[in-house]
Amino acid sequence: MRQDQITAALRIVKREIRQWEEPVLGVVARESNRDPFRILISCLLSLRTKDKTTGEASARLYALAHQPATMLTLPLRQIEQAIYPVCFYRTKAKSIHAICHRLLDVYGGAVPDSIDELVTLSGVGRKTANLVVTVAFGKPGICVDIHVHRISNRWGYVKTETPEETEVALRNKLPKQHWITFNDLLVPYGQHLCQPVSPFCSKCKLTEYCDRVGVAKSR
């Protein structure tokens, strides 16, 4: 995919993803009026977990508490029970407590709006930090998960080995107007159509743009 094709390609993706359910982080953001704390915690819960499970776990947890101070009144066991069966639920429950402590001790209970500060929180990597910055605060950031990494390389738009390298490459190449929405567009596209193994190329509207890098089998 050439640089002059990216805007047209993303316009097509935006149109195509309307047929599928909204990703869980979008739902949490909309229903919480873009509350940074709930977006942060749901991002943490979503790691290696399917959207349906994340959404249900988030709802159970926020029915109990949705602010750092009140979250700390919940015993770890209660948080574990609320978020089960998200992947690594015990570790994530501990991270939630640790995050709440740091938010109260260092930031007065508020979620910081910079990537450098967010990655100091327990269990928060650059993917989560970028999501919080873009979704909760509307600030420029590029969240690179497995779908963004895979599709960006499959298109031939970047040539990288890791999500971290992809973020750097996209920051240098992707027009800034697309930074905030890039993850929102590519995640559902990757979940439903441009899948890791045997993508649905016959249904894809991006054939004229996609280099199909690494695609050995498709449907």
Per-position pLDDT tens, the chain of length 219: 999 999 999 999 999 999 999 889 999 999 999 999 999 999 999 999 999 999 999 999 999 999 999 999 999 999 999 999 999 999 999 999 999 999 999 999 999 999 999 999 999 999 999 999 999 999 999 999 999 999 999 999 999 999 999 999 999 999 999 999 999 999 999 999 999 999 999 999 999 999 999 999 999
Packing angle, helices 36-46 and 89-107, rounded to 10: 150
Rounded to the nearest 10 degrees, the angle between the axes of helix 76-83 and helix 51-64 is 140
**Do the Cβ atoms of 61 and 79 come closer than 8 Å?**
yes
Q: Give the three-state DSSP class for 142.
A: coil
How large is the greatest C-alpha to C-alpha distance in the chain, in angstroms? Answer: 55
Which percentage of the chain shows pLDDT scores above 70? 100
The per-residue pLDDT for 165 is 97
The domain 32-137 having CATH identifier 1.20.1530.20: the answer here is no
3-21+141-203 under CATH 2.102.10.10, yes or no? no
Token pair belonging to 58? 């988030």
Query: pLDDT tens, 183-207?
Result: 999 999 999 999 999 999 999 999 9
CB 178 within 8 A of CB 6: yes
Q: Report yes or no: 39 and 45 within 8 Å, Cβ to Cβ.
A: no
Catalytic position from the list 35, 51, 92, 127: 127
Question: Above pLDDT 90, what percent of the chain?
Answer: 98
First to last CA, the chain: 21
- Amino acid letter, 123: G
**Known catalytic membership, residue 127:** yes
* CA pair distance 218, 177, nearest whole angstrom: 31
pLDDT, tens digit, for every residue of 93-105?
A: 999 999 999 999 9
Please calculate the CA angle 210-180-176 and round it to the nearest 5 degrees. 75
Q: What is the DSSP string of 104-138?
A: HHHHTTPPP-SHHHHTTSTT--HHHHHHIIIIIH-
Dig out the tokens for 213 from the structure.
Answer: 């890098």
14: annotated active-site residue: no
Other CB atoms within 10 Å distance of the CB of residue 58: 27
Tokens of 22: 């909204």
Contact of 15 with 183, CB cutoff 8 Å: no
Q: CA-based Rg of the chain, rounded to a whole angstrom? A: 18
Q: Catalytic residue among 145, 159, 176, 211, which?
A: 145
Q: Where are the domains of the chain?
A: 3-21+141-203, 32-137
